[in-house]
Amino acid sequence: MTPRAEAAWRVLGDVPDPEVPAISVRDLGIVRDVLEHDDGLEVVLTPTYSGCPATEVIERSVLDAISAAGLGPARVSMRRAPAWTTDWISEDGRRKLREYGIAPPGPVAVPEGGAPIRIVRRERIACPRCASLHTEQLSAFGSTACKALYRCLACQEPFELFKPI
């Protein structure tokens, strides 16, 4: 990896996700690669899902951050295969989600040679505020389609779960 590409990776660690600003696009795992070409940098992104309304905002934020750091010119390309999975969220990103009040997702099963499948969660979801496992799902959808709404029965606080995809 070139020094310019390495610098771009560091910069992308500070670009917040517009829907969950406590986590960067890098920690979210949507930055797949940073490539240096003769005509500039290429930042390869994989959206969290094909209908994500924040994709264009993320693309603009990435390009603005690269430019502001003096690393341009740059372009963004979208790589939709393999599909993004919540397994790509970094450990630091999972910690940041908990601190922000969102329960991080559990693992996703990937059959040999197959596409990721959602694991049916049978275990209890831990409250990101008090760590109690005494929680209940209130709605399959939270503030965005990629989150579900839960409530902790111990501390009575509502919270969202970032759905495993």
All domains of the chain in start order, with CATH: 3-78 (3.30.300.130), 102-162 (no CATH)
Kindly state the percentage of the chain with pLDDT values over 90: 68
- Choice among 1-10, 105-114, 131-140 with the minimum mean pLDDT: 105-114
What pLDDT sits at residue 106?
A: 76
User: Regarding predicted confidence, which is higher, 108 or 28?
Assistant: 28
What pLDDT sits at residue 115?
A: 57
| Burial status of residue 155 (CB atoms within 10 A of its CB: 0-12, 13-18, 19 or more) | middle
Dist. CA 6–CA 34, nearest whole Å: 8
The neighbouring-strand residues paired with 139 are 149
Q: Is the pLDDT of residue 135 over 60?
A: yes
Do you know the residue count of the chain? Answer: 165
Mean pLDDT of 76-101: 92
Residue 149: which residues within 8 A CB-CB, separation 6 or more?
137, 138, 139, 141, 142, 158, 159, 160, 161
5 within 8 A of 30, measured Cβ to Cβ: no
Residue 92, Cα to own-chain centre: how many angstroms?
11
Confidence of residue 165 (pLDDT cuts 50, 70, 90): confident
What pLDDT sits at residue 121?
A: 47
Mean pLDDT of 138-163: 91
Mean pLDDT of 80-87: 88
Both tokens assigned to 140: 């399959």
Please state whether the predicted TM-score (pTM) of the whole model is above 0.85: no
The per-residue pLDDT for range 101-130, each reduced to its tens digit, is 999 887 766 566 655 555 444 568 999 999
